Amino acid sequence: MAKLWQKNYDLDALIEKFTVGEDYRLDNNIIAADCVASVAHAAMLSKIGILTQKEFEDLKKELIAIINDDAAGKFQIDLHDEDGHTAIENRLVNKTGDAGKKIHTGRSRNDQVIAAVRLYARDYLLELIQAGTALAGTCLAFAEKHKDVPMPGRTHMQIAMPSSVGLWAAAFAEEILDDLTLAFTAYELNDMCPLGSAASYGVPLPLDREMVSDSMGFAKLQNNVLYVNNSRGKMESIILDAAEQMVLTLSKMAQDLILFSMPEFGYWSIPAQLCSGSSIMPQKKNPCGLELIRAKASTVSAAVIHIKGIIKALPTGYNRDFQETKGAFIRGANTALDCVRVMEHTMNRLTVNRENLARGFIPEIYATDRALELVSGGMPFRDAYKEVGLHLDELSNMDPGTVIAAKKHTGATGNLCLNKAQAQLETFEKTLEQKRNRIEQAFKKLLGSRPVLFRSLK
Amino acid sequence: MAKLWQKNYDLDALIEKFTVGEDYRLDNNIIAADCVASVAHAAMLSKIGILTQKEFEDLKKELIAIINDDAAGKFQIDLHDEDGHTAIENRLVNKTGDAGKKIHTGRSRNDQVIAAVRLYARDYLLELIQAGTALAGTCLAFAEKHKDVPMPGRTHMQIAMPSSVGLWAAAFAEEILDDLTLAFTAYELNDMCPLGSAASYGVPLPLDREMVSDSMGFAKLQNNVLYVNNSRGKMESIILDAAEQMVLTLSKMAQDLILFSMPEFGYWSIPAQLCSGSSIMPQKKNPCGLELIRAKASTVSAAVIHIKGIIKALPTGYNRDFQETKGAFIRGANTALDCVRVMEHTMNRLTVNRENLARGFIPEIYATDRALELVSGGMPFRDAYKEVGLHLDELSNMDPGTVIAAKKHTGATGNLCLNKAQAQLETFEKTLEQKRNRIEQAFKKLLGSRPVLFRSLK
Amino acid sequence: MAKLWQKNYDLDALIEKFTVGEDYRLDNNIIAADCVASVAHAAMLSKIGILTQKEFEDLKKELIAIINDDAAGKFQIDLHDEDGHTAIENRLVNKTGDAGKKIHTGRSRNDQVIAAVRLYARDYLLELIQAGTALAGTCLAFAEKHKDVPMPGRTHMQIAMPSSVGLWAAAFAEEILDDLTLAFTAYELNDMCPLGSAASYGVPLPLDREMVSDSMGFAKLQNNVLYVNNSRGKMESIILDAAEQMVLTLSKMAQDLILFSMPEFGYWSIPAQLCSGSSIMPQKKNPCGLELIRAKASTVSAAVIHIKGIIKALPTGYNRDFQETKGAFIRGANTALDCVRVMEHTMNRLTVNRENLARGFIPEIYATDRALELVSGGMPFRDAYKEVGLHLDELSNMDPGTVIAAKKHTGATGNLCLNKAQAQLETFEKTLEQKRNRIEQAFKKLLGSRPVLFRSLK
Amino acid sequence: MAKLWQKNYDLDALIEKFTVGEDYRLDNNIIAADCVASVAHAAMLSKIGILTQKEFEDLKKELIAIINDDAAGKFQIDLHDEDGHTAIENRLVNKTGDAGKKIHTGRSRNDQVIAAVRLYARDYLLELIQAGTALAGTCLAFAEKHKDVPMPGRTHMQIAMPSSVGLWAAAFAEEILDDLTLAFTAYELNDMCPLGSAASYGVPLPLDREMVSDSMGFAKLQNNVLYVNNSRGKMESIILDAAEQMVLTLSKMAQDLILFSMPEFGYWSIPAQLCSGSSIMPQKKNPCGLELIRAKASTVSAAVIHIKGIIKALPTGYNRDFQETKGAFIRGANTALDCVRVMEHTMNRLTVNRENLARGFIPEIYATDRALELVSGGMPFRDAYKEVGLHLDELSNMDPGTVIAAKKHTGATGNLCLNKAQAQLETFEKTLEQKRNRIEQAFKKLLGSRPVLFRSLK
């Protein structure tokens, strides 16, 4: 099919292949979102008299048909279409005639792709937040179950002080909850409707931008039409910044899980079904899922850096450079979500080996507890510290369970205060539910159904 | 002086120099914060009976003396001190005897440095948010003043559609306000008191962690003692992520300002006092401040990447790797703040040249407006688009002022809706004021004064 | 089909999907390379008596059949195959029976994938170097053609001193030649045969590793079997470091080309066939190819960072993390090559507009030349500089052609010394030819033909 | 003192502080290099008649005096000087009058700073290569000493196959040698004299650029005057790319050293003198040097990214952005060198614990050896693999020493071929010596002595 801008010459073949790049494949991810935004735009054009009611109905019907075709894997974009927006407009023109030729009134592909990515990202964030709350919940349950299981605490990877499996797991629950705070902020910033910005400079038509925004359940309209374009890539990088913090948390967790499942520790076991083997070594059960989570933290980081590198110091207004942010965003976002889900799946199947954990309790682990005993007897801490430090060979074993129970101040092994994280988790779940409902109601009113705008990459 | 952990051997000289690194210089930035946290910790130790009232008073007096010395540039840390925490403890022992030897009861340098950095970062964020709101305000005033000044709008850096200086400036105002949302979220996450985590595993003492947190005006306590250590570097990277979004906004703004002050455009002029000259070319007036803002976006980005690279896949608990985050954070944070201030200073002094702006209005800039005229006459947009595109030589000039005024929908050149950004700005200013007050009240109660915990790098 | 390591349980479905990731698609890029390495390995196994001559012949025949199927797009890897190595072994077992079951003797997938990627990368580098020399040649020809065309020289993007289009183009020719030096070093390091390392620890078999290396035309054997595995990701990042320097050069070149094709400059024109249009603005001809080159510099940079982030601080020996380097490498490498080719294509079609270039010669561009006239009259430079600087309004126009011709020292506008770059270019072309020949001879001996091991991504 | 370009107005104070940044401190690193380049430039100006012989002698004498003052820590640059170049010119004018005012004839600070950084970087690379060869030598000696000490080989951090301490150490020796190949290429590219490019556009004076280049012992002249400026930042990033590969190697080595010195392994011991203690835990001996090496790999990576981020898509010619590359380069370069030295220092003091290493040899480590025994009996490998895999409990212990000795093919545990790396090391040492001599001879001729142009940061 023809490009939208095609006039009286053909684009050079090498340049066509280069500029289209992977867009014609990547855009499969945002076809449904683009159709939803197109229905909203068309409804508004009909209200302001650009489209007749009949034209709007025809467009809406065909756009819903495309959504359905896409869900069934039957909507294909061709290299010569250039991108999904063109493929959609070409089909609309083909099926609805003049209505299709009118739908682009008052918009550009610039604000169209921004709208589609924002809808896609909104549904993505709902999934990410849901997966994150599930993981936090799993960690909290794991912490509750193992709150009394002693575990050698380390600093510098060396033996430090007595700790517990519960403290370890709860630390990650709290960290993930903080990561979710970032995800909610990203959600809030992303939840602005860009449509009506056209090519960044508006149009001399009485577009009702608020109507369009409300009809898709956006929390607000993104006001300044130039800012709309300037925020391309920015919003994607803000979302990935949040996702990156989550995978950084997971990378630490994965490292601990890999490290302490080495046979010399054996603190926990990952079921064989979650491990891969080797092509040459018959005995191997490798924690590949966790290793890949560790590696994929760099994948998400690279995606963030990629996008920020592109937008840095770009002049205002649309520049084709933005196109290159799409693949980075889609891949980075999917990677983060996969990691969260796989970690939750793994944590849910992890078994803890008390005996192996107990073996790490060598006398020196109690050195600080011993020094604090001396403090209780009145010795200044620094003196007690030196006293113990110069007589390490006199340290004797204590009972790990008693020692971890003795740390009773807030947040310590003897007093994890899991209820605090639990309460925050429930608040997050409620907020998530409200956001889902708001969108569902808007979409049902606009389209009669709630299409899924984010699907994991195959 | 001696290291805190020194017992019966000396550290290898090469390793000492390498492991201390620049800490003994960087820690000058957090001496005051460390002293504040030490007073709060000592007050609590006194309450739970580790310190006598007299010991606490002695410590408090000396810690305030150190804060004053530091403010006067008279507190020096030595390479052999290893770091600021040691320098402070050594002085306390020297001046207060046993009280000094007791102050480290129930804490480690790990949670001590986290506390100090968090206090430093909190004051930093107050400054960054203040500078950001000032810049947003300047952009809004600039937009209001130049809302009717036509400016060629561009996409792909080529002539696109009529725009205005007001639209341009307001776009940045709105973007900076969104950046500030991120800064507030970073503030919220940073506003947790870490003290009482000790070496990540708590202590068998009845530490009143809530008292310590409240006494420094923190919004809440960071609960899990292992999470406290796991969040080192994380919090710094979250803050810098927010700061980075701000400098990315500035990099775009700087690029526009540099580009359109080239003599071939001359849209605006930067006063000579803000420009540097050349050592060889007598005529040069170079926009060096703006060029450096453009470059320094990469500086902040690199600092973020630096920190995230360090924390990725580190096992839980303290690892010495964390030390390397300090310089990156301090330098990155300062760089971002400097850039915001310099941009505000520059925008405040920029003059706009209407005639030069008018010269960019060549007939093709009106092509879209012409196509939409045809649409008003009933032609479908895609047909109108092709009609104009095939007869570009028939385009004639219009009046730029009339054309930009005609875009009256929300957020367009004829209807910038500056009041919306203004309202958000005022909300932010109020929130900032409340946060300042909360801290001031806590510090006055704890110390009798409100020491400044963030100072720009010299 | 079954996984190579499959024994008596099935891999969890979520973990399977996550750990296989895109490998089953990405591996299409290295099927041919894997088959070549497998033939070389099998030939050696036959020599040391693990395979009979007949078994070797059967395997060779089938591996060549796979190469041909792959070239015809008919070799598919399935998700359940896990990766291309498994798909190949499964087919070999299927077609050759015991021979297929023996081919993995003395190797692991670890050294197999390293060998395949190295062969792929070697052919890639040949293409990159060829594209780079072509671009350098085009720039040199462009410089020769336009050596007398004056162009305003700039610093800080402001008018600086008279320059020429020839100087501009030749600067890039020289820079690309330096980039090619890095590509040749990357080639040298990559040109080591890894086979025989097995799982990093060798095998108790008399493998003739030198034979394998020579048979594929490698310059040398990579000696230490553990280093083989430790170099995974490393080699890829070294190659991409070289490619990145090339795209950084192109990003600067693209920026100049975009900037000075703005209508306010119009120094050169990009033919319409190389430009894309807008969906809304009928008049647009956008330099999209160049904008994407600018953006894709960040794509290659991100790929480098991605890989380095993965390998940083990984313990020795194979870790599954390495798998995640594959996509980054393949995508980054392809992106860089595409950019070089598109830039060469564009430079070959660029037209220069002398009149527009001449318009930039305002009097102040001659300020330094005037100061140096005063120096010729005996005035110290610093005095001359100030004299001119305080009387800029007295500067008058000179003849640009005369002024640029007057700079006759080496490398200046009047004496570009293009012959030096030309000579280096020819040396590079000869070296490239030698490398191609060496491989061709080895492959013809081993396989009877020279399969193409690198194909651009579709 | 005054700025070089100062005319009839003062620079705004905020802008002055911002644009000068840390230059006035950083430039202390390149004062000596700048003076050397200035003597070379002055000698040439004297030859072409711009300076009298007397003026040249005066300048040379004063420049040598500055070099000596700088070596003694007595040459200070002031904020108002802007940078070191200005501080030097101001002093020359002050001491030599008109000669000082003439020295800037035919150069700009742009090519001056490039020349100084290149000289600094050349001496830096000599140090880095020397430290790298020393480390490679230490690793080779360590490998030779421990070539028969069995060590559990791992993949996925799990027990894989028998290995040796010798194989482990030799792997790093070979990797560092490959890293040094990159450092030599960086040296070659850096070894070009930029002087005579002036502000990128040359000057109408008969500068003898070859004379200047030869007099400083450069291998060649950088020809194109615009390319000189375009290569700012580029050369720095090429050098740091090489240094980064070296620290990435070290990060892996450090991770192994930290990991296997955990008490559960205890493969090796780091002497207490190389370890730091804890402020709270009396027993701690932490491998802080190694942890910081691991962290500092990210520091060097961040410096590379920083510089590449700055130069990406900058228009040609000098832009002030380049200034921001200086700190990143100096800090990144120093960090890498420190890490190499500390690693060499540590490896030299490491003790190996045979008994602890032996404990890791559990039966499953011999699974592959057992499968290959079955292969020797005629069973196809894939069948042997399954046979062993389904009967892992039947595996019995073997003698580790015998098993590692049995891997006799090239590069395996029984045949490390250390002589190959040793030969390459000696070639590198010879090349290094030649490069040192070339510079020493040139400098003695030019200056009568060989000033040190690179000093480690304090």
- How confident is the model over C345-402, as pLDDT tens digits? 999 999 999 999 999 999 999 999 999 999 999 999 999 999 999 999 999 999 999 9
The pLDDT of residue D4 is 77
Residue B1 has pLDDT above 60, yes or no: no
Tell me how far apart the alpha carbons of residues C246 and C133 are, in angstroms, rounded to a whole number: 11
pLDDT grade for B282, boundaries at 50, 70 and 90? confident
Distance from CA of B229 to the nearest CA of C (A): 20
pLDDT grade for D24, boundaries at 50, 70 and 90? confident
Subunit contact C225:D308, Cβ cutoff 8 A = no
The pLDDT of residue C82 is 84
> Which residues of chain C make contact with A273, given a CB cutoff of 8 A?
9-12, 15
pLDDT grade for B127, boundaries at 50, 70 and 90? very high
Subunit contact C182:D197, Cβ cutoff 8 A = no
Residue of C nearest to A293 (CA): C321
Chains interfacing with A (3 or more CB pairs < 8 Å):
B, C, D
Distance from CA of D365 to the nearest CA of A (A): 8
> Which residues of chain A make contact with B259, given a CB cutoff of 8 A?
315
The answer, for B408 touching chain C at a CB cutoff of 8 Å, is: no
Subunit contact C298:A309, Cβ cutoff 8 A = yes
What angle, rounded to 10 degrees, do the helices at D288-311 and C234-259 form? 30
Subunit contact A302:C298, Cβ cutoff 8 A = no
Subunit contact A224:B174, Cβ cutoff 8 A = yes
> Which residues of chain A make contact with C294, given a CB cutoff of 8 A?
321
Per the CB < 8 A criterion, the answer to whether D25 and D82 are in contact is no
Closest CA to A116 of A180, A40, A18: A40
The answer, for D241 touching chain C at a CB cutoff of 8 Å, is: yes
Q: What is the DSSP letter of B159?
A: E
pLDDT tens figures, D109-148: 999 999 999 999 999 999 999 999 999 999 999 999 999 9
The answer, for C411 touching chain D at a CB cutoff of 8 Å, is: yes
Mean pLDDT value of segment D442-448: 98
pLDDT tens figures, C370-380: 999 999 999 99
Residue of A nearest to D306 (CA): A309
The pLDDT of residue C112 is 96
Q: Show which of residues 178-207 on chain A sit within 8 Å of chain C, judged by CB atoms.
A: 198-199
The answer, for A160 touching chain D at a CB cutoff of 8 Å, is: yes
Candidate from D9, D272, D309 with C-beta closest to B301: D309
User: Phi and psi of A41, rounded to 5°?
Assistant: -65, -45
Distance from CA of D275 to the nearest CA of B (A): 7
Q: What is the DSSP letter of B457?
A: -
Subunit contact C4:A279, Cβ cutoff 8 A = yes
Q: Which two tokens mark B162?
A: 């009529």
State the best of B320, B334, B341, B349 to mutate against chain D, taking most chain D CBs within 10 Å: B320
- ipTM for the assembly: 0.97
* Residue B298 among the catalytic residues: no
Region for residue C295 given its phi and psi (left: phi exceeds 0; alpha: psi -120 to 50; beta: otherwise): alpha
Strands (E), B10-148: none
Subunit contact B222:A416, Cβ cutoff 8 A = no
Tell me how far apart the alpha carbons of residues B287 and C43 are, in angstroms, rounded to a whole number: 66
Distance from CA of A6 to the nearest CA of B (A): 8
The answer, for C382 touching chain B at a CB cutoff of 8 Å, is: no
Tell me how far apart the alpha carbons of residues A259 and B313 are, in angstroms, rounded to a whole number: 11
Residue C89 has pLDDT above 70, yes or no: yes
The answer, for A156 touching chain C at a CB cutoff of 8 Å, is: no
pLDDT tens figures, C103-125: 999 999 999 999 999 999 999 99
Residue of D nearest to C307 (CA): D248
Residue of C nearest to D93 (CA): C382
Residue of C nearest to B263 (CA): C158
Chains interfacing with D (3 or more CB pairs < 8 Å):
A, B, C
Q: Which two tokens mark B106?
A: 């129930």
Q: Show which of residues 1-40 on chain C sit within 8 Å of chain D, judged by CB atoms.
A: 4-5, 7-8
Tell me how far apart the alpha carbons of residues A260 and A265 are, in angstroms, rounded to a whole number: 5
State the best of C252, C279, C344 to mutate against chain A, taking most chain A CBs within 10 Å: C279
The pLDDT of residue B4 is 77
The pLDDT of residue B6 is 73
The number of beta carbons lying within 10 Å of the beta carbon of residue D246 is: 28
Subunit contact A279:C323, Cβ cutoff 8 A = no
* Residue D41 among the catalytic residues: no
Q: Which two tokens mark C13?
A: 């479905």
CA distances from A297 to A302, B325, C340 (A): 9, 18, 30
> Which residues of chain C make contact with D414, given a CB cutoff of 8 A?
202
Chains interfacing with C (3 or more CB pairs < 8 Å):
A, B, D
pLDDT tens figures, B197-207: 999 999 999 99
Along the 458 residues of chain A, how does pLDDT read in single tens digits? 577 777 777 889 999 999 999 998 999 999 999 999 999 999 999 999 999 999 999 999 999 999 999 999 999 898 888 899 999 999 999 999 999 999 999 999 999 999 999 999 999 999 999 999 999 999 999 999 999 999 999 999 999 999 999 999 999 999 999 999 999 999 999 999 999 999 999 999 999 999 999 999 999 999 999 999 999 999 999 999 999 999 999 999 999 999 999 999 999 999 999 998 888 888 888 999 999 999 999 999 999 999 999 999 999 999 999 999 999 999 999 999 999 999 999 999 999 999 999 999 999 999 999 999 999 999 999 999 999 999 999 999 999 999 999 999 999 999 999 999 999 999 999 999 999 999 999 999 999 999 999 999 97
The pLDDT of residue C8 is 72
pLDDT grade for B278, boundaries at 50, 70 and 90? confident
Which of A276, A278, A449, A456 is the catalytic position?
Answer: A278
What angle, rounded to 10 degrees, do the helices at C324-347 and C288-311 form? 150
Tell me how far apart the alpha carbons of residues A375 and A252 are, in angstroms, rounded to a whole number: 34
The answer, for B302 touching chain D at a CB cutoff of 8 Å, is: yes
Tell me how far apart the alpha carbons of residues C18 and D225 are, in angstroms, rounded to a whole number: 52
Distance from CA of A111 to the nearest CA of D (A): 25
The pLDDT of residue B130 is 98
DSSP A79-112: GGG-SHHHHHHHHHHHHHTHHHHHTTTT--HHHH
Tell me how far apart the alpha carbons of residues A405 and A164 are, in angstroms, rounded to a whole number: 10
* pLDDT more than 70, % of chain D: 100
> Which residues of chain C make contact with A5, given a CB cutoff of 8 A?
276-279, 284
Beta bridge partners of D158: D155
pLDDT grade for D319, boundaries at 50, 70 and 90? very high
Subunit contact C199:D230, Cβ cutoff 8 A = no
Q: Which two tokens mark C179?
A: 């980039």
Exposure string (b/e) for C91-112, b if CB count within 10 Å is 16 or more?
bbbeebebbbbbbbbbbbbbbb
Chains interfacing with B (3 or more CB pairs < 8 Å):
A, C, D
Tell me how far apart the alpha carbons of residues C246 and C243 are, in angstroms, rounded to a whole number: 5
Q: What is the DSSP letter of B97?
A: T
pLDDT grade for B404, boundaries at 50, 70 and 90? very high
Which of B41, B46, B156, B396 is the catalytic position?
Answer: B156
> Which residues of chain D make contact with A368, given a CB cutoff of 8 A?
280-282
Residue of C nearest to B276 (CA): C156
The pLDDT of residue A86 is 92
DSSP B38-50: HHHHHHHHHHTTS
Subunit contact C11:A278, Cβ cutoff 8 A = no
The pLDDT of residue B277 is 86
> Cα B30 to chain center, whole Å?
17
Candidate from B7, B259, B420 with C-beta closest to A390: B7
> Which residues of chain B make contact with D326, given a CB cutoff of 8 A?
none
The pLDDT of residue B78 is 85
Residues contacting residue A458 through CB under 8 Å, at least 6 positions apart:
none
Q: What angle do CA C206, C210, C213 make, to 5 degrees?
A: 125
